[in-house]
Amino acid sequence: MHESSYKIPGGKFVKIKLEISLGKIVDVKILGDFFLHPEETLQKIEDSLVGSTAVETTIENAISRILTESDATLIGATARDIAKTIIMAWNVT
């Protein structure tokens, strides 16, 4: 499992736990002390990222899309921050 933590400047803390196989996400957990309303959106984001490759902008767009579809509000972190932390985890060997 790959892990990374990122304290967002002026924001909250994001932690990623990542399982990768053959260059694709098999499982991802997004943890931290940020706020997300409705909270169930996080599970949807995690599910939607399964199968993603290590392209930060693609991951960011996927997260943004779910946020929009769910009419969700993410506070203390952005889709970009989460995507960045996922790539950080990916690069941990």
Partner 1 sequence: MEEFRFIDLEVHTAFENMAIDEAVMLSMKDGNAPPTLRLYRWNPSAVSIGTFQGMTDEVDVGFCDSRGIDYIRRITGGGAVYHDFEGEVTYSIIMPKGHRLAPSDILESYRLLCGGIVKALEHLGIEGEFKPINDVDVYGKKVSGNAMTRRHGCVLQHGTTLLDLDVNLMFTILKVPQEKISDKMIADVKERVTSIRDILGRDVHIDELQVALKNGFSDALDIELSPGKLSDEEQDTAARLAQEKYPSRAWNFSR
* Calpha distance 5→69 (Å, rounded): 27
CB of 48 to partner 1, least distance (A): 16
**Least distance CB 22 / partner 1 (angstroms):** 26
44-48, Cβ contacts within 8 angstroms, sequence gap of 24 or more: 44/70, 45/82
Of 34 and 90, which has the nearer Cβ to partner 1? 34
- Smallest separation (angstroms) from partner 1 to the CB of 39: 6
**Binds partner 1 by CB under 8 A, chosen from 36, 49, 66, 86:** 36
Q: State how far the alpha carbon of 60 is from the alpha carbons of 21, 48, 93, in Å.
A: 20, 11, 22
**Residue 86 in the binding site for partner 1 (CB under 8 A):** no
